[in-house]
Structures are given as C-alpha cells and as structure tokens.
Chain A
C-alpha cells in the first residue's frame, strides 16, 4: 500500500536558518503530494501541494518539488522564523482517492 516516510525530528533551528525536512513516498500510479502544518493546539492546515511530477508547490516562503525519479517531496525554507515552529506532515493521495496517507510528522522548533 501507499506509505510516506519523513524525518521525525525534532528539528531545532535558530531564526533565519535554512530548513529542509525530507519526505519520501511509496505509491502506485501518480499520487498527489501535500505538506500540512499543525501549529500548537490547532488543526491541520494545507501548506502546499503538487499534483504531478516536477511541479513545485510554494506558500509562505516554503517550497517543495515533486520528484518522481527519487519519489521525494522535500520541504525547504530559506530563512525560518520563530512563528514557523509547528509540526509538519508530508502526505499523499494515491490509488485510493479518498484517503490521505500521512508521514508521522516532524516537530520544528525555531529559537530566536
């Protein structure tokens, strides 16, 4: 079945540091890929998405590129802020169009 593997962290960075959170996937066909963010005490918010190979999703300074050859969708940001502290989930929708398959989440803490 479909699966998502992401670095589990926790990841601790200083403000303005470069962020990478690795995400790889296993899926049949051509899945759609997503990054969701969960701020403390809140629900999940869609951060960005990509629906086909080589698409780049971007939002709020975050980017991720759908790499079919390496089955990856790594999340990057050039300069993190304290307000980016949250849990980040990589997810996909594959053969079962009714199910999001999630990675286990990565806790990011950004210190001033």
Chain B
C-alpha cells in the first residue's frame, strides 16, 4: 500500500530533550515536506526537500532541523524542544512537487512539550 509513515503517533517530552520524528514513504517520491497544524492557524510548512541532500526552509523553520540522506526518509529533529513546539505534525510527499497530484500525508504526530 502506498503510504507515508510517521512515528511516533504521540509523544510527550520535556523541554530541552532532543527528539526525532521519523517519516518514511514507499512511493519513490522526490519531494517531501513537514507541516505543523495549530488551532486557528491551519497548517504551516516547516521544511521541505526536493531530493536527497537537498532541503530548504519553509515558513516556520525556527527550532527544527531536517535531513534527507535517503530518498524514502525525511526525519524532523527538534534539538531543544520548547513548549511552543507543542503541535500536530504532518509529513507529506509528492512525485512532482504537488502541482498535478497534490501531496500524500502521513497520519500525524501529536507532540506535547512540557
């Protein structure tokens, strides 16, 4: 089944403790992206990647890092999480930059930083 898989689904952590949210897709997509969803703000792009070793900032990159060492994986790294990073996170992928087919989304990771 074609899908984007995120782990974990739920995570509670403490301020300052480094964490990684994994994202993997099995569709051989070139483009991958991370979004966060917050009430009243909708979804905002954090980082995106056009291919292996090619990444760039989205609208809200502060406090996050990403890497793209393999085509299928695009982990999101929070090196020193803070409470304002409590949010629902989605990974997404697309084969063409999304213009014709849109993006396929993962099921989400609900992160709480206390």
- A: which residues have CB within 8 A of B? 32, 34, 36, 42-46, 49, 51, 89, 93, 97-100, 102-105
Does any Cβ of A come within 8 Å of B45's Cβ? yes
Separation of A23 and B40 alpha carbons in the complex (Å): 16
Tell me which of A32, A44, A99, A105 contacts B105 (CB under 8 A): A44
Does any Cβ of A come within 8 Å of B100's Cβ? yes
Closest approach, in angstroms, between the C-beta of B13 and any C-beta of chain A?
21
Contact between chains at B33 and A49 (CB < 8 Å): no
The range of chain B's interface size is 20 to 34
Tell me which of B42, B45, B48, B50 contacts A89 (CB under 8 A): B42
- Inter-chain contacts of B101 with A (CB < 8 A): 49
Contact between chains at B40 and A97 (CB < 8 Å): no
Closest approach, in angstroms, between the C-beta of A68 and any C-beta of chain B?
16
Separation of A104 and B43 alpha carbons in the complex (Å): 7
- Inter-chain contacts of A103 with B (CB < 8 A): 42
Does any Cβ of A come within 8 Å of B92's Cβ? yes
Count: A-B pairs, CB below 8 Å: 63
Closest approach, in angstroms, between the C-beta of B108 and any C-beta of chain A?
5
Contact between chains at B98 and A32 (CB < 8 Å): yes
- Inter-chain contacts of B108 with A (CB < 8 A): 42-43
- Inter-chain contacts of A46 with B (CB < 8 A): 102-104
Closest approach, in angstroms, between the C-beta of B38 and any C-beta of chain A?
10
B48-80 Cβ-contact flags toward A at 8 Å (1 or 0): 101000001011000000000000000000000
Contact between chains at A104 and B40 (CB < 8 Å): yes
Contact between chains at B102 and A49 (CB < 8 Å): yes
Known: A51-B99, A98-B31, A100-B35. 18 other contacts (CB 8 A): A32-B98, A32-B99, A32-B100, A32-B102, A34-B102, A42-B108, A43-B106, A93-B97, A98-B33, A98-B48, A98-B56, A99-B33, A99-B48, A100-B92, A100-B98, A100-B103, A104-B40, A105-B42
Does any Cβ of A come within 8 Å of B41's Cβ? yes
